[in-house]
Each structure stands twice: as C-alpha cells, then as structure tokens.
Amino acid sequence: MKAQQQSETRRRTTRLIGAGVIVALLLASLTGLFARGAAADPTLPPLTPTELLNRVATAQVDGMSATFTQRSDLGLPALPSGIGGGDELQSALTLLTGTHTIRVWTAGPQHSRVSLVDDDSESSVIRNGNQVWTWSSEQQKAGHATIDAKTPTARPTGAPSTPAEAIDRLLKAIGPSTEVTASGTGYVAGRPVYQLILAPKDAASLIGQVRLFVDATTYVPLGLRVLDRGGAEAVSLLASTVDFSVPAAGVFEFTPPAGVEVTELDAKASDHPTGTAKSRPETKTVGTGWTTVLVASTGTTKVTDATAKALLDSLPAVSGAWGRGRLLSTSLVNVVLTDDGRVAVGAVTEDRLYAALAR
C-alpha cells in the first residue's frame, strides 16, 4: 500500500517536472524573442535636439557592417511584376511594398557597399575607391563606372557624398518648417539610441512625423520610422545588426564573373538611371520643405504598356480647374497623373496637388 502511494507520488512529481520543463521552454523561447523589445529604455546623458543633430552631422566612423530591415505599408497592393519600364525603376518600385533586407558596409568615404537581399536574388552598388560597380543577380548583369580621381567626392548632380552631408542638407531644407523634439531613448539592434522626432508644421503634409534613431556612442543614425497623419507607420528602416569594426577589404572588391554582361555606365547615368537625356521630363517644384510638390511634364499622353494602362485605368478619375486625370492616393504620397501628360507628386493632400497643377 505504502509502495503504491510512493510510486503514485513519484509519478505525480515526474509529471509536474515534465509540465514544468515545457512551460520553462515556452517561456524561455518567448522571453528570448521579446527580450529586446521589452528591455527598459537606457539612461543616456541628456542632449538637446540641436546638440544631437550637430553630433549626427559630424559623426564619423572608420567602418561599419549593418543589416537593415525596410518595411513599407503605404496601403498599396503588391505591384504586379513587369510594369514600370526600366529595370532600375522597377527595383525601386518593389521597395514601396512589403519587407526588404538591406546589407550595408562602409570603410571611410571611399569604400561602401549596399546590397538589397531578397528571397533568392541580390542587387548591389559597390564603391571601391574610384571604381563603382552595380550588380543584379536576377538579370546576371553588372555595371561599371569610374569616378574622376581628382574630384572623388563631387558628383555631377551635386548629390551628397556622405550621410552626414545628406542629413545636414535635409535639416537645412526642412529646418524652418519642422518641429524637432527629443523623445527619450531606446534600443535599435541591441544598441542604446537617442530618439528624435521631426514633425512637419504644415497641416497639408501627409507625413505625421519622422522618428530618427541615433546611436548613442557613434551618433550614426540606425534607423527611422515615418508615420502618417493618423499615426500609423508607413515606412520604416531599422538596423537589425550593427558592427562598427572595419569590414574586410574583400567586401568592396568586385570582379564581374565570366559570362556576365557588363555595361559601362557614365557617372551621370548611374545617378539617374531612369531618365535618359532624350526623354528626361521637364520638372518644377511648387512649395518648400515637407510640402514640396514636384510637377513634371512627361510630354507623352499615351501609355503603351498594357499592364500599366490597366493599372492606370483602375485609379479613381479626378478633375478640376487644372484639368482631368487620375489620382493615386497612398497614406504617405499622393500622385496625380493628368490626361495631358503631367504628373504631380508630393507628400501632401490631393488639394495641394491640384493647386500646384493649376499654377
């Protein structure tokens, strides 16, 4: 009798242990996965927004390897493949929907590599000294350009050469129309970051705010979130892993493999791959800062591509004093394509676009 009781107790104990093991396993996996998200915000020396922005503008690291995750939720359906004409334009369009992984390596201003890593393809832009290579695994094509060695940082179009310069310019452009506030701290890619909120003052802007995450030790931006007027996240670009050691030199070396088509790009073409000189549209901008509207005249009213035409016809028709056209409305950007071949684009309400078109 006693032996039976003992074995009964033992069985119950083992069962309890078993259940305990499972609960522990589940908890361990859950906490392991949530640990980063749930960690308390780090305490960092307080900085005013201006101080922080100045440090961002002068931030300099010897090297960096990072993986970024980019998410877009603009309320657009996944785009059918085969529209968009140019291949580069199309790969830019795919960034507007879904989730993408981007690997970035830098070693000083002369060496950089950015690779868009999708399911089973990869496209890269690699800069090694004055050599620039582009690579697309999907098309098995490489492109090559040589940057003038005498003016290594001057690009023909005046595009910014360093991220700091780009941010500097961005801040100058948006400065007066923006409310900049510091918003505590957090973690990105396991590193403590400062958070900065940039909010447009103009009510016509579709962008509610941009949250910038700045690394607390190197002041390198590790990500941003763009929220729409309703406070929903429209676009985010966040680092998932960051390593500030200088990457191996081999990362920036590119030799086109045998059997791969190599096209020589002139530097201008590499900056503006979609607009050849002949068909480059006439453009003008209306407004300043966040609510800048870009009005382009494409000169053509005919849409030849059948898929693109079907897509265009599915958009709601709009008309006004400015003419008639179709409106592509997303949570962050509005586009009006008029029947007489003009295009107005802006992160503004559609009324602002109509006003710009009427000018």
Interacting residues toward other proteins by CB under 8 A: 14-15, 18-19, 21-22, 25-26, 29, 32, 67, 78, 98-99, 101, 103, 115, 117, 119-122, 124, 135-140, 142, 240-241, 248, 251, 254-260
* Closer residue to other proteins in complex, CB, 122/168: 122
* Closer residue to other proteins in complex, CB, 255/314: 255
Pairing of strands 178-188, 63-73: unpaired
**Which two three-digit tokens encode residue 230?**
């309703």
- Packing angle, helices 163-174 and 49-58, rounded to 10: 140
Q: Do the Cβ atoms of 174 and 198 come closer than 8 Å?
A: yes
* Closer residue to other proteins in complex, CB, 134/178: 134
Dist. CA 278–CA 21, nearest whole Å: 70
Q: What angle do CA 176, 206, 213 make, to 5 degrees?
A: 65
Amino acid residing at 1: M
Q: Dihedral sign, CA of 16, 19, 21, 24?
A: negative
Query: Among 163, 173, 291, 294, which Cα is nearest to 224's?
Result: 163
Q: Do the Cβ atoms of 133 and 257 come closer than 8 Å?
A: no
- Report the nearest approach of other proteins to the CB of residue 111 (Å): 14
Which phi and psi angles does 19 have, rounded to 5°?
Answer: -60, -40
Residues 6+ apart with CB under 8 A from 17: none
- Report the nearest approach of other proteins to the CB of residue 226 (Å): 18
Query: Among 178, 218, 196, 186, which Cα is nearest to 48's?
Result: 196
- Number of helices and strands in the chain (H, E): 7, 18
- Report the nearest approach of other proteins to the CB of residue 117 (Å): 6
What is the length of the chain?
359
Dist. CA 293–CA 136, nearest whole Å: 32
- Report the nearest approach of other proteins to the CB of residue 36 (Å): 13
* Closer residue to other proteins in complex, CB, 127/342: 127
- Report the nearest approach of other proteins to the CB of residue 82 (Å): 14
* Closer residue to other proteins in complex, CB, 142/337: 142
**Number of other residues whose CB lies within 10 A of the CB of residue 5:** 9
* Closer residue to other proteins in complex, CB, 68/213: 68
- Report the nearest approach of other proteins to the CB of residue 136 (Å): 7
* Closer residue to other proteins in complex, CB, 9/48: 9
> Which residue is listed with tokens 């589940």?
26
* Closer residue to other proteins in complex, CB, 144/169: 144
